[in-house]
Amino acid sequence: MAQKQLPDIKKDFAQWYQEVIFKADLADQSPTRGSFVIPPYGYALWENIKDIVDDRIKKTGHKNASFPLLIPQSFLTKEAEHVEGFAPELVVVTHAGGKKLADPLVVRPTSETMIHHMFAKWISSWRDLPLKINQWANVMRWELRPRAFLRTTEFFWQEGHTAHATKKEAHEEVLLMLDEYVKFATNYLAIPVVTGKKSESEKFPGAQITYTFEALMQDGKALQMGTSHLLSQSFAHAFDIKFQDKDGKLAYPHLTSWAVASRLIGAIVMVHGDQKGLVLPPRVAPTQVVIVPIYKKDADNNAITQQAHALAKQLEERNIRVLVDETDYSPGAKFYKWELKGVPLRVELGQRDLQAGHAVVVDRVESNKQMVVFDNFVDHVVKQLDDLHNTMYQRAQKRVKTQRHHGERLVDFGPKLQKDAGFYHVGWCGDVVCETKLKEYQATTRCLLETNEHKVCFGCDKPSVTDVLVAKSY
């Protein structure tokens, strides 16, 4: 087991990220440009995320369905803004079954067009509304500079698509799902987020309003964690979705869509990781507890093995995901491996511990060591996993506070932002000309804020109409 140090997380965050995800088995390079292999450890993390999100999607009244991977290219062109947004990234099938296709097919970059085509077939009366559908799918957007989980040609996501009789109801849906996402980030990923509307130039192609939730990574860059869109009725017009309302009149429904993707794994890595490797939030970690028996050479270690499995069994009965590492590597190599992989709690169990009737419990966040007597072991572990979640959330929140600044004039805070990054809370006149000036500093508006504390726009001398969050981003 090679124990080469990871790159310095403070000095070379990008390289640290790259190496930690491969070494910890979250992802692997594939021979297909821009696509990654997700090995079992990474996939188990994704399955845990998926199960929790899926449960909330179902409990809020949505039903899963599945739509074709390939979409006729002509569909994409039906909504003008939509095609303009996605055309440069399309992956196109031109040949199939040994022949050239008369009409090329694109691999879905998102499924609005296909799903709205079906909505037109499924919706005819107010009785068919609301229609609340979700799809778990792989989608594809060609990436020139791929980075695992953050920007990949193929990625996994859920895409919710709903239709409502009124705009008010559609807007409520958009906010409901945004709220579910924020709760998930807070309560399961231990990641604090900022929410708000995207600016006109940053919103989803074809949407009227895009809500986003953004998190700050340790290097001071923002990551868009997911979005929830109030689509304009233009999609309903483009796909001719109509329903007879209660008064017998034909009307166009109001549509929404919302998504989170495998990118959330990138956020987990970049918010919580440290110099030793991953630090996984306990509620989604594939392995929550690893038990390492410390064997004595040339001795009978049977009692240690038995006790390790007895403790594991007790944890399993409380639905804790636990693993006993019985491989024949040294304890030190095992500690290194499970720290790299970010397992929240490590339990050490040797001859002396056995005699003293306790186990040594070491947490991954602060490396605190505690002797825990066997009688109290399970209750202790259950509680400590909960505590760790809170510790991780608070630590992340503290970091955001130190990296969130107010800025007045771009010429003043721009160079600082360019160098040290962070969130910049500034005033904005709302003009895209000023927004474009941020590019000079590799920054963008992340979301509009509900406050208007700043009197003047960051980019010009006009008054500010809204505060806006500015940052460099992934």
* Residues in contact with its own copies by the rule CB under 8 A: 28, 30-32, 35-40, 42-44, 46-47, 63-72, 75, 87-98, 104-105, 107, 114, 117-118, 121-122, 133, 138, 140, 142, 144, 153-154, 156
CB 245 within 8 A of CB 126: yes
Query: Residue with structure tokens 């944890």?
Result: 315
Gap between the Cα atoms of 159 and 134, Å rounded: 6
Q: Using the minimum distance from each CB to its own copies, give the nearer residue, 327 or 394.
A: 327
Max CA pair span of the chain: 86
Question: Least distance to its own copies from the beta carbon of 146, Å?
Answer: 11
Give the DSSP letter of residue 345: E
A 10 A CB-CB count for 313 gives 11
Q: Using the minimum distance from each CB to its own copies, give the nearer residue, 44 or 49.
A: 44
CB 217 within 8 A of CB 225: no
Question: Least distance to its own copies from the beta carbon of 313, Å?
Answer: 16
Question: Least distance to its own copies from the beta carbon of 442, Å?
Answer: 22
Closest by Cα among 352, 382, 214, 199 to 283: 382
Torsion of CA 259, 260, 262, 268, to 10 degrees: 170
CB 117 within 8 A of CB 84: no
Burial 279-296 (b: 16+ CB within 10 A, else e): bbbbbbbbbbbbbbbbbe
Question: Least distance to its own copies from the beta carbon of 20, Å?
Answer: 18
Question: Least distance to its own copies from the beta carbon of 267, Å?
Answer: 19
Gap between the Cα atoms of 432 and 81, Å rounded: 17
Question: Least distance to its own copies from the beta carbon of 66, Å?
Answer: 4
Burial 434-456 (b: 16+ CB within 10 A, else e): bbebbeebebbbbbbbeeeebeb
Gap between the Cα atoms of 290 and 269, Å rounded: 19
Q: Using the minimum distance from each CB to its own copies, give the nearer residue, 139 or 216.
A: 139
Q: Using the minimum distance from each CB to its own copies, give the nearer residue, 7 or 146.
A: 146
Q: Using the minimum distance from each CB to its own copies, give the nearer residue, 27 or 190.
A: 27
Q: Using the minimum distance from each CB to its own copies, give the nearer residue, 90 or 468.
A: 90
Q: Using the minimum distance from each CB to its own copies, give the nearer residue, 56 or 395.
A: 56
Question: Least distance to its own copies from the beta carbon of 51, Å?
Answer: 11
Which residues have CB under 8 Å from 158's CB, separation 6+? 50, 53, 54, 57, 134, 135, 136, 137, 259, 260
Q: How far, in Å, are 16, 124, 310 from residue 275 at the CA level?
A: 8, 57, 33
Gap between the Cα atoms of 334 and 327, Å rounded: 9
- The amino acid present at 367, given as its one-letter code, is S
Record the tokens describing residue 83, joined without a space. Answer: 């095609």
Phi, psi angles (nearest 5°) of residue 174: -60, -45
Closest by Cα among 296, 339, 320 to 385: 320
Gap between the Cα atoms of 412 and 421, Å rounded: 14
Q: Using the minimum distance from each CB to its own copies, give the nearer residue, 131 or 469.
A: 131
Query: 3-state SS string over 259-283?
Result: EEECHHHHHHHHHHCECCECCCCCC
Question: Least distance to its own copies from the beta carbon of 441, Å?
Answer: 27
Q: Using the minimum distance from each CB to its own copies, give the nearer residue, 93 or 333.
A: 93
Q: Using the minimum distance from each CB to its own copies, give the nearer residue, 42 or 414.
A: 42
Question: Least distance to its own copies from the beta carbon of 153, Å?
Answer: 8
Question: Least distance to its own copies from the beta carbon of 269, Å?
Answer: 17
Record the tokens describing residue 404, joined without a space. Answer: 């969130």
Q: Using the minimum distance from each CB to its own copies, give the nearer residue, 142 or 336.
A: 142
Helix, strand or coil for residue 340?
Answer: helix
Q: Using the minimum distance from each CB to its own copies, give the nearer residue, 137 or 176.
A: 137
